[in-house]
Chain A
């Protein structure tokens, strides 16, 4: 009997507690299948649309493309007005990740190792910036960056996203750093390492996974945010997410291209997710799990 059920996905859940009656095991698999189906269906529908022609989208209702076409993707990948959106997004996202990590690393170290005047308040104050609604900051940011001449540049968006990414990075890194025993620092100092050399040569490799996770989360939150990046840009640094709205032409919406653009924005996240899958909860919990 055990062999007969070996191919059913439900079998795997039995590993956890293997004395369950069989119907129980199947319930688990059914629940997960239904939930994952619910998650995947809308994405599948977008993917499905991106491979159809507009005539097919509007005139027939099919669960998979009858008239398979890659024209929608070709349109995006050959037109600079389109693909520059991806380039712009990438530039400010990478800038933001680098800035956030650079300033967050020493700060997280200070929070995890030392007690100093106002440390707890400062730590909570950082978190409050994660709570700040972007809508509140949209207009002031617009005026601030216009007045210093940074409007419509990548660095403006990167700095604006620091508002929520720096606190996030500090929190995540602090969570990882707490796990490193302090004896390591002390031994290194006794061995004659200065702070800088110790930090880069010994400490950073120890929390490499933490840095990776923090980088991933900075990358992600900067990538998914739209309100601020759209407010701060017009042409030169316009992110792909904002460019997507221009599919609304005179002849109605170009659904196929819109769907293809949407699918292409999912790709970067999907690519890296595998590497951080076990840390995702920790990252979302701001390093507190």
Chain B
């Protein structure tokens, strides 16, 4: 749509600007403030320059948390995206059962995040959980509070359970926008199922898939509540992801300087990667019209 140039439109945007400035810019400036200052208590601060950034960049703790985070986001993207597409391809296209699928699939998305954690914490427990009990009965040694591998499996499966439906719903929305004529043309050409997917469905889904990947990346990168409820970051530090570590540092130990420096770098990493996704996304948008 052609848009008119109208600088007065700023007045319409002003309320949003003020509100977001209050709830985002002021807090962010506080963080910036802390990141360059040091204190001996009594609310007396003095300039520390980039000392905290230096300290954080050379601290093993942050790099470990970051690599765990990257591993976690990588694993869940590698599982959720293909699985989501697969589920979307198998969903009924219309009618009563399509509604049933949509409603049931959306359900996990609307559960408060700590309840998601609680559900899986209970589900996986060896004494009272269905999953834990079943695995134990099968003779598999599974205990997510002691064993690093089991803890990882639990939080990954939990995230897959929680968010695959999001990818599936978006892919499904993309699939539904494909006109029937495309499939008929493919049938005339006697295209195989794989070719139909590769040359018709996948390109048409690309736009929404990028959004799905962007969202899943962002949200998995800042995940806190769910794994915290299940494992508390343990055993040891095995599942201490970035946010868990940050909250520990800022609200637990009250190490304001390092925590603030950590925060800023954390935010920058998310913004950088998201910006790349966003640019790719808008370019796709333009190409697809």
> Which of A's residues lie within 8 Å of B, judged by CB?
9, 12-13, 15-17, 27-28, 31-32, 35-36, 38-43, 45-46, 49, 57-58, 61, 63, 99, 102-104, 106-107, 109-117, 119, 122, 124, 126-144, 159-160, 162-163, 166-167, 170, 178, 182, 220, 223-227, 231, 240-242, 244-245, 255, 258-259, 262, 265-266, 269-270, 273-274, 277-278, 280-282, 284-286, 288-289
Q: Are the C-beta atoms of A42 and B119 separated by less than 8 Å?
A: yes
Within 8 A of A (CB), among B220-278: 221-222, 224-225, 242-244, 246-247, 250-251, 256, 259, 263, 266-267, 270-271, 274-275, 278
Q: Are the C-beta atoms of A103 and B93 separated by less than 8 Å?
A: no
**A144/B26 contact (C-beta < 8 A), A32-B91, A110-B13 known:** yes
**A31/B87 contact (C-beta < 8 A), A12-B97, A36-B101, A284-B166 known:** yes
Q: Kindly identify which residue among A63, A226, A286 contacts B112, using a CB–CB cutoff of 8 Å.
A: A226
Residue from the set B92, B98, B270 with the largest chain A CB neighbour count within 10 Å: B92
Q: Kindly identify which residue among B9, B96, B118, B218 contacts A258, using a CB–CB cutoff of 8 Å.
A: B118
Chain A residues near B8 (CB, 8 Å)?
116
Chain A residues near B99 (CB, 8 Å)?
274, 277
Q: A43-B108, A224-B112, A277-B106 are in contact. List 13 more A-B contacts (CB 8 A).
A: A15-B95, A106-B15, A113-B4, A116-B13, A131-B274, A133-B270, A135-B246, A139-B31, A140-B30, A220-B110, A262-B118, A269-B110, A285-B208
* A-B complex: 3 closest residue pairs judged by Cβ atoms: A269-B110, A140-B27, A133-B222
B97-121: CB near A (< 8 Å → 1, else 0) gives 1110111111111111111001110
B3-35: CB near A (< 8 Å → 1, else 0) gives 111111110110111011011101110110000
Chain A residues near B86 (CB, 8 Å)?
31
| B172: interface (CB < 8 Å) | yes
Q: Looking at chain A's contact residues, is the secondary structure mostly helix, strand, loop, or mixed?
A: helix
Chain A residues near B218 (CB, 8 Å)?
130-131
| B123: interface (CB < 8 Å) | yes
> Which of B's residues lie within 8 Å of A, judged by CB?
1-10, 12-13, 15-17, 19-20, 22-24, 26-28, 30-31, 86-87, 90-99, 101-115, 118-120, 122-123, 127-131, 133, 161, 165-166, 169-170, 172-174, 177, 183, 207-208, 211-212, 215, 218, 221-222, 224-225, 242-244, 246-247, 250-251, 256, 259, 263, 266-267, 270-271, 274-275, 278, 285
Q: Which residue of chain B has its CB nearest to the CB of A116?
A: B9
Kindly state the separation between the CA atoms of A225 and B5 in the bound complex, as whole angstroms: 38
